[in-house]
Amino acid sequence: MNAHLSHDHIHPQTSREDNFKLEWLLQSIERNRFLPEPDPEKVFVGDGNYRAIGAEYLGHFVRIGGLKPTDRVLDIGCGIGRMAVPLTQYLDPDTASYEGIDPVKDGIEWCVQNITPIYRNFRFCQVDIAHELYNPQGAMAGDEVVLPFCHASFDFVSLVSVATHLPHREIVAYAHEVSRLLARGGRVFLTAFIVSPEDIERAEARPNFIPGEEQGSWIADPVAPLGAIGFDRGMIESALEGAGLKVDLVSLGHWRGTSSSHYQDVIVASKPGGPA
């Protein structure tokens, strides 16, 4: 692995002017009261300001992941549209597309009813993948996941706060599926907890990880190990590389108590063979 390891990162293709325009867009998304937003009690994807977190991640997709307005986007674990809503303001309605998949039916139904009717290039699909917390009765095992899309049909795949809830074997399965679905030169933007001994010794680190049962795993709560799970440095990167992807960068998050523009760690990997 030869990835750039950093505490902050701006994608090399983001010019000063682009960055200024993006900042303006992110602020306008946060203020725009006409954008769809679910009832707070329906939001099952975590605490915090739904709109502000979505806008924050749109900024990371562009600045760290190199997302372009014309990209064909796949959002794995799209929940209740927190990433999709800000993306409606960035992706080109004529040339770009967005597909969101999630095992939770209620989240997908909200997106289908509230996003797709206004933004026709945004589609959502429930995939009945089993997860002990999110979809205990799911029919498809997470380590045998196959998503209903053709080979090489996406330029950008996101998994935000998804690998932080999956056992390692399911991350390996997703690495292969993402590699199948990405076009050459396409990128995957994945958040994770990458844990090293210095991280867990820091008093400011949140969550407070303890060793999990699975080799190399770190969990916050033994009663619900998949509530928040991290892995030794290198494990997720190796899973991506084992699936034929190139790890381009690892940007460390501030969960460990160090400074960063994002909370979880971010890994960006690409499908080799695209234009130079």
Ligand X SMILES: C[S@@+](CC[C@H](N)C(=O)[O-])C[C@H]1O[C@@H](n2cnc3c(N)ncnc32)[C@H](O)[C@@H]1O
104 binds ligand X (CB under 6 A): yes
45 binds ligand X (CB under 6 A): yes
Minimum CB distance to ligand X smaller for 174 or for 218? 174
- 213-252 residues near ligand X, rule: CB under 6 A: none
Minimum CB distance to ligand X smaller for 123 or for 246? 123
83 binds ligand X (CB under 6 A): yes
Give CA–CA dist 113/78, Å, rounded. 15
Nearest to 249 by CA among 168, 189, 178: 189
77 binds ligand X (CB under 6 A): yes
157 binds ligand X (CB under 6 A): no
Q: Please identify which residue in 9, 51, 165, 256 interacts with ligand X, judged by CB under 6 A.
A: 165
We find the least distance from the C-beta atom of residue 21 to ligand X, in angstroms, to be 24
* Binding residue count for ligand X, defined by CB under 6 A: 22
Contact residues for ligand X (CB under 6 A)?
Answer: 45-46, 76-79, 82-83, 102-104, 107, 129, 131, 134, 142, 160-162, 165-166, 170
